[in-house]
Amino acid sequence: MVYSTSRTAIVILNWNGQHYLQQFLPSVLANSPGCEVIVADNASSDDSIVYLEQSFPEVRIIRLTQNHGFCEGYNLALQQVEAEYYVLLNSDVEVTPGWVEPIVAMLDADQTIAACQPKINAHQHPDFLEHAGAAGGMIDTLGYPFCRGRLFETVEEDRGQYNDVQEIFWATGACMFVRSNLYHELGGLEPAFFAHMEEIDLCWRAKNAGYKIMYNGHSQVYHVGGGTLHKSNPRKTYLNFRNGLALLYKNLPGSELIPTIVLRIILDWLAAFRMVMAGQTADARAVLDAHADVLRNSSYWRKRRRTQQPKGNFARMAGVYKGSIVWEYFVRQKRTVSEL
């Protein structure tokens, strides 16, 4: 069944998030003229569906039969949405007037752009950029992701320094505009990731296929963030380290794969040792479990064979920092992208 007749479909994946829908859905409806707004519900056990039906009858609802997680939840929902552009929008995002138009105009003007994100500020601290997406995602040559405006736990104040348009490496899944045809051609979000770094994998596959990922600072939203798992949660640690290593297995050129994987594993073990010294033994164990799962899971190799590999050098791709962000941040004490 088709759920959208608009060029742009804003799809919010919900799981027991009635409080976020109450707080933020009105801003989406008020500030997104001409867009179809859809809530895909991941089998919530709260009153999300009842609330939507009673308060927002204009919002289309896709009911999923169980909690499929972020990746498969979106994949299943978007199979039922027909539009030129999808907007994957977290339920805890407040949008602003004019947030859609600059990005749609950019996608219309350049068919080589696969996906784009706006500037994302922290809802609780609106003068600062937000951890999950900030001013666009980057990655270093060892596969460690970071953002323009956010290095690890250091987030920059928004002084207008990112009110620009820039090619990046990845666009955040908290608010990602993506061409619908490419989303499906590339296979959507990686279901095995469940959550965390799935948008990086999708954007990397798009770049391997010759497309660009963009940031447009003329569009702005505010994100609460951290609504699913706290940053110190061992489950989140496991997903981040597992998916981070799987990213490399799936997407790196063959000539760069082995040396990069070896260096990455060493650095991850050092991170685990640092967690032990800080008393975070459950998180350290999660790092080792994550590595073990990737190394013994042959499915990543099969998926690698199906991934279109880049023709050039990974390090030369737009949005790749040609160095180690871990070294720059923890050893050289660099705290902003402009210092790199």
pLDDT at res. 158: 98
How confident is the model over 106-164, as pLDDT tens digits?
A: 999 999 999 999 999 999 999 999 999 999 999 999 999 999 999 998 999 999 999 99
Tell me the DSSP string of 140-196.
Answer: ETTS-EEETTEETTEE-B-SSTT-SEEEESB--TTEEEEEHHHHHHTTSS-GGG-SS
pLDDT in tens, 36-51: 999 999 999 999 999 9
Q: Give this prediction's pTM.
A: 0.92
* Confidence check: pLDDT of 183 > 90: yes
Handedness of CA 100, 102, 104, 107 (dihedral sign): negative
Rg, C-alpha atoms of the chain = 19
Q: Tens digit of pLDDT for each residue in 276-322?
A: 999 999 999 999 999 999 888 877 767 776 665 555 688 899 999 99
Sign, CA torsion 246/247/253/259: negative
Which distant-in-sequence residues (6+ apart) come within 8 Å of 171 by Cβ?
115, 116, 117, 133, 136, 137, 177, 178, 199, 203, 213, 214, 215
pLDDT in tens, 147-162: 999 999 899 999 999 9
What amino acid occupies position 200? Answer: I
Q: What is the mean pLDDT of residues 173-192?
A: 96
Q: For the chain, how many residues are written?
A: 340
CATH of 8-223, one of 3.90.550.10, 3.90.180.10, 3.40.109.10, 3.90.226.10: 3.90.550.10
Query: What is the rounded average pLDDT for all residues in the chain?
Result: 92
User: What residue spans define the domains of the chain?
Assistant: 8-223, 234-339
